[in-house]
Amino acid sequence: MEELSRFDVAEYNGVLMVVVESELLPPDPAVVVIPLLADYPAVLKLNPEIRHNGKRLILATRLIAAVRRESLRRSGTVGDQGDRVTRAVDILMSGV
């Protein structure tokens, strides 16, 4: 299994995804991720723009999912934008 940390970007079947699960949790074959999509209807703060490798992508927060770690290939990190990702997950869960 590839080591992945929170806010790492990984590719799954050609789609980039941000890891949102804490690395402090016990190991599991799956990890929670949110897709980064070029064309996704953005809702203010729920779907922030995330920059990765010179691309402007939208965090598709409502498409949060668990993916098997063995299916992911790490391609970088967006740790410098982690506050936006965390805020989006908070808005998804609390509605505000």
Which residues, listed in sequence order, are joined to residue 55 by a DSSP beta bridge?
52
Distances in whole angstroms, Cα of residue 65 to Cα of each of 8, 17, 52, 54, 90:
15, 10, 20, 25, 15
- pLDDT at res. 68: 96
First to last CA, the chain: 36
pLDDT classification of 11: cutoffs 50, 70, 90: very high
pLDDT digits (tens, 9 = 90+) for 21-74: 998 999 899 999 999 999 999 999 999 999 999 999 999 999 999 999 999 999
Position 1 pLDDT exceeds 60: no
Which residues, listed in sequence order, are joined to residue 37 by a DSSP beta bridge?
58
3-state secondary structure of 85: helix
Domains of the chain: 8-94 (2.30.30.110)
With the CA atoms of 93, 3, 40 and 78 taken in that order, what torsion angle do they form, in degrees rounded to the nearest 10?
90
